Structure 1
Amino acid sequence: MLRAAELVAGVMEGGNLTDAFERMAADHAAWPDATRGAVRDLAWSTLRDYGTGDAVLQQFLHSPPAVLIHGLLLVALTRLEQRPEQAHTVVDQTVQAAAVAMPGLKGMVNGVLRNALRQRQLWTSWVEADEEARHTHPRWWITRVRADHPEHWRSILEAGRQRPPMALRVNRRRAEVDAVVAELEAAGIALRAVSGQTVLLAQPLPVARLPGFAEGRVSVQDAGAQRAALLLAPQAGERVLDACAAPGGKTAHLLELADIELSALELDPLRAQRIRANLDRLGLEARIQVADCARLETWWDGRPFDRILADVPCSASGVVRRHPDIKWLRRDEDIAGFAAQQARIVDALWHTLAPGGTMLYVTCSVFGQENAAQLAAFLRHHADAESDPIDGFPDCQLLPDADHDGFYFARLRKKA
C-alpha cells in the first residue's frame, strides 16, 4: 500500500506514473509478479478515480495533508471500495504504512479513515454532489468532451475510469490467427478473435504468460491502434515513413503487412531503443533514426515517401485509462500547445510526401481541437491536399469502449 501511495504522490507532484513505476520495479527486482501487479493495479485504480477520494476526504480534513499522506489516504479509500469486507484490515495496513512514512501523522490517518468508515453510507452522496468526482475527470476535461461529443460524452468519461482491454496482434509473417487462438486456448487463456489479425483477451496477462510472444508470433497492441497500419495500407516496394514511431507497435505492424522500405523516427533515444527491441523480437527490419521529425534538415535525404504515418504527440485523452496520471497532469491550456505542435509536424512532413502519396494523421485523443479542427485547418492551408475518405466519411473518430481505446484517423492524399 505504501508503494502505491508513493506512486500516487509522485503524480500529484507532477511526475510521470509509468516512469516512476518502472524505476520502482527496477529497485525491487525481487518482487514476485503478484506483488508488482498489485502495486501497479492499486496505483492505477486510485488515479483513474480522479476526484472521488477527495470528495470523501474533504469531509474530514480541514487542510491538505503532506502529499505522501494524501496519496496514502486516496489509496486506502480505493482499497476500501474494492474490498469493503476487509475494511478493518485495510485501515490497519494504512496506519502501519503511515507509521513507516511519517510516524507523527499515523493518528490522523487512523482517525480520518475510521470516521470515514462510520459514515460510509454517505460517500455516494458526497461524490454525486461533486462534478469532477462524479465523472472522475477534471472539470475542464468534462467541458471539452461534452462540447465535442454531446451524444457520447458520458460513455467517454465512463470509459476513462475503467480498466483497459488487452488485445494482441498476430504477426502474419510468423503465424496464422487460428493457430494462435488454439495455442492460447490450450494454455487456458480466455479470448475472442475480433477481426483480421486481432485477438482480444478476457483478462490482461503478463506477456511472459503469452504463448508465442517471445517467439514473435504475437504482439500486445490495442485493437484501435491496429487500425492505423490497416488504414495506411502500405504496398510492396513502397517507401514508408513512421514519423513518431516509439515504442514501435505501428512500425512493426506496417512491416508485417507488406515488404516495404520503412524509416522510423523517434525524438527520444531511449524510446528509439524500444523500437529496435520490438522489431528484433518480431524478425523485422527498419531504418531507425533519432530525430525531430519536423526538422527535415536533420534526417531527410530528399527522397519522397509514398506513405507517411503521422502518429503525432497529443493529449492522449483517448487512452487515459491506460495512463491515468494524464488526468492529474494535463491542463486545459495544454491542448492548444499540442495542436500547434501537431500542425508544425504535419506541415513539415507534407514536404516529404510524393505526389499521389498518402499521409495518415493519427492521434490517441478525443478532443476536437486536436482532431477534426486540425484536418480542416490543414486542408485550408494546403491546396495540393485532399481528403481520402475512411468508410465513406472524411475522418474517423474512434471512441473508447470495452474493446479498444480512443483514436482519431484522417487520411490525406497529395494531388499528383
Structure 2
Amino acid sequence: MKNHKGRQVANLRADAAKVLFQILEEGQSARECLPLAQAQLKDQDKAWLQEMVYGVLRHLPILQFWLRQLLDKPLKNRFKITEHLIMLGFYQLAFSRVSQHAAVSETVAACQSLNTLAMKGLVNAILRTFIREDMANQAAPNEQIASGLPKWLYKKLENAYPTQLAQLVDNMQIKAPIWLRVNTQKITIAEFKQALSAENIEFQTSENHISGLILAKGCDVTTLPGFALGWFAVQDGAAQLAAEYLNPQADENILDCCAAPGGKTCHMIELQPNVKSITALEVDAYRAQRIQENFDRLGHKATIIVGDASQPNSWWDNKQYERILLDAPCSATGIIRRHPDIKWLRKAKDIEVLVELQKQILAAVWSQLKPGGTLLYATCSILPEENHLQISHFLSNTSDAILDTSFNNDSVDKPGRQIFPGDQQMDGFYYARLLKSA
C-alpha cells in the first residue's frame, strides 16, 4: 500500500518511531525533529504523523507500563527504536481510530524501513498479545501513570494543588485549540470574522479578548484568509493578556525581554501604535530571526537586539524604560497540552536552574526600569517556585518594588495571577505586575 509519493504507508510508522526516538532518547524537541520528518509528506500524512507522535508523548507512562509487562527485557543498540515502534502500536490500538488490522500489520511492516527486520516477529507477537488480553481497557496501576505525567512533575503538582489536581491533569491532556489574534492595524475584527465565515471556518469569540478568536477545528493556519497579508497572528489567549496587562501608553519607551517569537511585541504595537519605541530583546540569534519574520508578515517595526537579559552591560545604552515585559525563561509546564514533548525533555533538576536564572534576570531588568514604571513578569509555567514564590522573594528583597494587586490571586500570600491550562480554553500562564516607586 503506497501514498501519492510512492512511499510505503508503513514508513509513516517508521517516521513516527524515529521522531519518538529522537525526542525520548536523544533529547531533541519536537519543534526540531518533527518538521524534518514531515517535510516530504502531503498535508494529511503530516497531520497523521504529528497526531501519532504527540499521542504517544501524551500517554507515555501507560504505554511504557504495557511495554514492561509484555517485553521480557529492554532492547539495546540499534534495536532500541523497536520499543518506540511497539509503543506507537499500543497507542494506535488503545487511543486512536486506526483499525486493529492496520495498527498491527503496518506497524510490523515498519520494521523493514527501520532496518530491524529481525524484530518483526517480536512486534507482531506483542501487539497481538496486547489485543488478546484487552490491555487497553485495563485500569492504570496508579494515578501518576494514568495522568500521563512524569513522576517528578506529578508530585510537584500534587503538592502544590491537591484539590485541583484531577482537573488540572485532565486539562493538561486535552488538545489545545488554535487561538488567533486579529491584527487591527491591517483589518477590522468584523471584517476578519466575515472573511472566516465566507470560507465556512467556524470560530468562537472570547469576552475577555477583544481581538481574540478560537478556531473550532485545527487547521494549517497558513491556509486561512489573510495569512500572507498579516491579518492575524497565532497566539494563545493567555499570551494575549500580556500586552493588555502591560498597558503600553503613547510616547513611552518599552522593553520586551526574551521576546521571541515576537507575538507579544507585535500585540503591543497593535494596542498602542504611538509608543515612542519598543525594543525586542532575545538571547538566541536564530530565534531573533523569528521576531523579524513576524514583524515583516504583520507589517510592524521595532528594534531587535540579540542580547542576554541577565547581562545588560553587554547591550544596554543606560536609558531606562517606562514599561518592561519580562516573559522569563521557564519550565513551560503550562503549555504541555500544546507541546507534550516538554514533559519528557524537562527534568526535575532543571527547575532549580531556571528559578535562579529568573532571579538574575529580574534583578538585572529592574535597574532598567524608570522610577514610577511598570514591570510585567510572565511565565508559561504552573509551578509555584517559578511564579508566586519567585515574585514573593523579589518583593521581599527589593525595597522599591510594589505589587499591583489589580488582577491578583484571591490569596494575599500568592501574588500575581495564575492561569491554569484549560481556564477559558487558555494555556497555563502566570502574571505579576510590579510598580517601581518614584
TM-score (normalised: structure 2)? 0.91
Secondary structure of 1:58 counterpart: helix
Assess if the C-alpha contact under 8 Å between 2:325 and 2:375 holds in 1.
yes
Query: Which amino acid is 2:225 matched to?
Result: P
- Is 1:345 aligned to residue 361 of structure 2? yes
Assess if the C-alpha contact under 8 Å between 2:94 and 2:136 holds in 1.
no
Partner of residue 241 from structure 1, selected from 255, 273, 279: 255
Residue 290 of structure 2 is matched in structure 1 by: 274
Q: Deviations over 1:188-240 (max 9, x none)?
A: 11111113110001111111221122111111100111011110010111100
Query: Which amino acid is 1:232 matched to?
Result: L
Partner of residue 297 from structure 1, selected from 308, 313, 316: 313
Greater mean deviation of Cα atoms: 46-55 or 373-382: 46-55
Partner of residue 123 from structure 1, selected from 136, 155, 167: 136
Matches of 2:431 and 2:235, distance apart in 1: 17
- Is 1:50 aligned to residue 50 of structure 2? no
Matches of 2:374 and 2:96, distance apart in 1: 51
Partner of residue 234 from structure 2, selected from 220, 224, 232: 220
Assess if the C-alpha contact under 8 Å between 1:4 and 1:42 holds in 2.
yes
Greater mean deviation of Cα atoms: 310-319 or 151-160: 151-160
What pairs with 1:295-374 in structure 2 (closer than 5 Å)? 295-374=311-390
Residue 304 of structure 2 is matched in structure 1 by: 288
- Is 1:41 aligned to residue 55 of structure 2? no
**Residue segments in structure 2 that go unaligned for 5+ positions in a row:** 1-12, 410-414
Q: Deviations over 1:32-59 (max 9, x none)?
A: 1111121112111111112021122222
Matches of 1:84 and 1:228, distance apart in 2: 38
What pairs with 1:10-409 in structure 2 (closer than 5 Å)? 10-13=22-25, 14-26=27-39, 28=40, 31-65=41-75, 66-83=79-96, 86-101=99-114, 102-120=116-134, 122-125=135-138, 127-194=139-206, 195-258=209-272, 259-260=274-275, 261-393=277-409, 394-401=415-422, 403-409=425-431
Matches of 2:91 and 2:140, distance apart in 1: 16
Secondary structure of 1:294 counterpart: coil
Query: Which amino acid is 1:398 matched to?
Result: I
Matches of 1:280 and 1:85, distance apart in 2: 41
Matches of 1:366 and 1:214, distance apart in 2: 34
Residue 436 of structure 2 is matched in structure 1 by: 414
Runs of 4+ in 1 over 6 A off after TM superposition: none
Measure how far apart 1:84 and its partner are: 5.5
Secondary structure of 1:315 counterpart: coil
Matches of 1:205 and 1:344, distance apart in 2: 40
Assess if the C-alpha contact under 8 Å between 2:279 and 2:305 holds in 1.
yes
Greater mean deviation of Cα atoms: 375-384 or 44-53: 44-53
TM-score (normalised: structure 1)? 0.96
**Identity score, percent:** 36
Matches of 1:392 and 1:89, distance apart in 2: 52
Query: Which amino acid is 1:129 matched to?
Result: P
Assess if the C-alpha contact under 8 Å between 2:256 and 2:278 holds in 1.
yes
Assess if the C-alpha contact under 8 Å between 2:408 and 2:432 holds in 1.
no
Matches of 1:175 and 1:52, distance apart in 2: 47
What's the C-alpha RMSD, in Å, of the aligned pairs?
1.4
Name the CA shift for 1:85/1:50 in 2 (closer, same or farther; >3 Å): closer
Q: Deviations over 1:85-122 (max 9, x none)?
A: 610111000010012211111111011001111011x4
Q: Deviations over 1:285-340 (max 9, x none)?
A: 01001111111111110100010000011000000122211221222221111100
Q: Deviations over 1:8-54 (max 9, x none)?
A: 1111112212111123334x2xx211111211121111111120211
Query: Which amino acid is 1:275 matched to?
Result: I
Query: How many positions carry a matched residue from both structures?
Result: 411
